[in-house]
Each structure stands twice: as structure tokens, then as C-alpha cells.
Amino acid sequence: MLIKNSTKTEQCEQAMPKPKVYITREIPDRGLNKIKQYFDTEVWPEYAPPPKKIIIEKVKDADALVSLLSDKIDSEVFDAGPKLKIISQIAVGFDNIDVKEATKRGIYVTNTPEVLTDTTADFAWALLMAVARRVVEADKYVRTGKWKVAWHPEMLQGRDIWSATIGVVGAGRIGYAVAKRATGFSMKILYYDVIPRPEIERDFGAKKVDLDTLLRESDFVCLHVPLMKETFHLINEEKLRLMKKTAYLINNARGPVVDEKALYKALKEGWIAGAGLDVFEQEPTPTDNPLLKLDNVVVAPHISSASYETRSQMAEMVADNLIAFFQKKKPPNLVNPDVMKVRPL
Ligand code: GLV
């Protein structure tokens, strides 16, 4: 389909209607323009997500759907979209999509891994440094006129990052990139993963330990696991009680990996020193979430991959996955390869 240098067959193909794509939000131009070039494209125009009933209505005649991690894509959507062949998600995580059901129905699912790895690792570090060195508190301190004494030996003391122990929970691509940064701070690196990750051991001298040991020994616990039923509330009250009183928890993976109620108790009662959170059990998190009242918590609205460069690349990958599929090639970031048995290309 849709190729520029026209042979006869291609001319014929060009005359065929373009496949229809529904995109649930504006995505950066680099991807959007590419999609528009190849597809009959409709985009939900608002900043807020489309209600589910809109997605259901729009998939009725869509061949493809571009989804965000906040869109729930399940049987209800699949039932409504008899022509739906591919879901191209603009995120690495895809816990919002019922992939098993999609596979059964022959619907391809793709994501945007790798391009966001370093950007996301940078942000884990931004949270880590902000909470350990009290950057947000210090900013407020200056702006609200609390800075009345030029310098005091006990003003806004935090915790050292350099030479501390970092515990990486989930040592896939992002966990690896977080550990890489830790070497620049002369840190001891522990990791926990369900599979051995020889590359993080070989490259950064990281030591594999069980989760309880990691929690007991780390000064910074960084979560980099996908959300699955095995990782739901992986960090609960029992696990938080294992951590050092001086330790920090950093979560820019998925909110439900941490039991937020238990985390609040841990922070309020001083079982741990602080937390850096880019993700929440409910997003957006309600403004009355008690965690937001605590000074030892640094928060962000799920923006770990939000750099101009990375979001543009993610948008382009979304386009490339769609284009490959409709050119009968395996999409480069297919998350359910078994689907090819159900609907061969
Ligand atoms: C963001 O959280 C992503 O999964 O890409």
C-alpha cells in the first residue's frame, strides 16, 4: 500500500482507501504527520482523555487504534471494533491493554520501548536526588521567606547519595540505565529480578539479592518492574517495614506496584525517610491524597519519559509500528508475537 515510486501494482494500491486510524490524543508532530501521510486519521482533540464510550464509537470502523496508557483497552473495545487489527500504544508499559484477549482475537499490540529508557532513568534520578537533598523543600523555603539566616550548619540537611547503596528492583532496560548512573556516584549496587541479569553484574558490579535483602540493605530503593498481577502491591506494609529508617523509595514504574496506604503510614511514622513518586495508584492522584501533605515526598504527574526528544521519538515509533503492519511486515515493537499465528501477516 501507499508507496511513493509507483509501479503499476502500486498505483492500483494507492487508489485503495487508506486504512482508518483513531488516535486517542494529539501526539507529537513527528509521529502524527507520518501517520496522516499513510492513513485516514482521526484524533481526539481534547487534552483530557476521551470517555470510553467515545473510543467504543470510534473503533466501529477503525482498522487501527493509537492508545495511551490511561486508555482502558479491553473486550468492550474489541467487541465494538470488528475491523480493528492493531493497537499501537505510545508507552513502553501496556498494562492498560488486555493483551491476552487481543491476541486471541488476532489484534496486534505494539509499544515504544528503548527510546525512553535513558530519559526515564534520568527522571528516577531526578526524584532520587530531589528527595534525598530536599530540593523541593529548599525551593519552598526560599520562596516563602523562611530563609532568614544566611547559613546554618543544620539547615535542610539531607542524605548523601554518593557512596550509598542503591537497590534496583527490576533490572531490565530502565533498571540497567539507573544502575549505570549510580556508578558515577560511587554507589554499591544491589538488584532484584526474577531472572538473572548478567549484564548489570558484569558492567556495573551489581550484586543479585533477594527482595528482602535488597530492602534491608539499600539506602535508595528504585522500582523498575512492569505492573502485572505478580507485582501488584509488591511493596506493601511488610516490605516497607524491612527498609532502613534512613532509606528512600523511588517509584517511576507503575503506581499499583506500591501499596499507597502502607507507604503513607511508613512515611508518616518514620519507618523510611522519604519517597519520590512519579506514579500513583489512581492517576491523576486526588488532591486530597494524604501523601501530598508530607514534606518528605517529592511528586510528579507521570512524566518520566516527558522530554521533547523522547516523546517525539515515541510518536514516530507509533507511526512506524502501524506502517510496518499495514505493509505486511512484522511491526518492530510487537508485544504479542503469538498473534501472528492467529492472524498471519
Ligand atoms: C510510561 O509510563 C510508559 O510506560 O511509557
The 10s digit of each residue's pLDDT in 274-327 is: 999 999 999 999 999 999 999 999 999 999 999 999 999 999 999 999 999 999
Nearest residue by C-alpha to atom 4 in ligand 1: 93
To 5 degrees, how large is the angle CA 141–CA 142–CA 145?
Answer: 85
Distance CA 108, CA 105 (A): 9
Ligand 1 centroid, distance to 254 Cα (angstroms): 8
Mutating to test ligand 1, I would choose from 97, 305, 310, 333 the residue with most ligand atoms within 8 A of its C-beta, which is: 305
For residue 14, the model assigns a pLDDT of 55
Cβ(154)–Cβ(286) below 8 Å? no
Q: What pLDDT is stored for residue 160 in this prediction? A: 98
Model-level pTM? Answer: 0.93
Pocket lining: 317 vs ligand 1, CB cutoff 6 Å: no
Ligand 1 neighbourhood includes 126 CB (under 6 angstroms): no
CA separation for the pair 191, 146 (Å, rounded): 40
Assess whether the C-beta atom of 168 lies below 6 angstroms from ligand 1.
no
- What residues are labeled active site? 254, 283, 302
| Ligand 1 atom closest to 93 (CA) | 4
Output the pLDDT for position 221: 99
In this predicted structure, what is the pLDDT of residue 3? 41
Read off the DSSP letter of residue 257.
Answer: G
d(CA 159, CA 220) in angstroms, rounded, equals 10
Considering only CA atoms, which residue is closest to atom 3 of ligand 1? 91
Q: How far apart are the first and last CA of the chain?
A: 14
What is the pLDDT, as a whole number, of residue 37? 97
Q: What is the pLDDT of residue 106?
A: 98
Low-confidence ranges of the chain (pLDDT < 70): 1-15
DSSP, collapsed to helix, strand or coil, labels residue 40 as strand
How large is the C-alpha radius of gyration of the chain? Answer: 23
Would you state the pLDDT for residue 28?
98
Q: How far is the centre of ligand 1, averaged over its atoms, from the C-alpha of 223 (Å)?
A: 13
Instruction: Determine the 3-state secondary structure of 216 from DSSP.
Output: helix
Query: For residue 48, what pLDDT is reported?
Result: 96
Measured by CA distance, the residue closest to atom 1 of ligand 1 is 91
Pocket lining: 69 vs ligand 1, CB cutoff 6 Å? yes
Q: Residue 152: what are its φ and ψ, rounded to 5°?
A: -140, 135
**What proportion of the chain, given as a percentage, has pLDDT over 90?**
95
Instruction: Give 165's strand partners.
Output: 188
Amino acid 16: pLDDT: 78
Q: Residue 119: in which H helix or E strand, if any?
A: helix 117-132
- Write down the residue that cell numbers 523541593 correspond to: 136
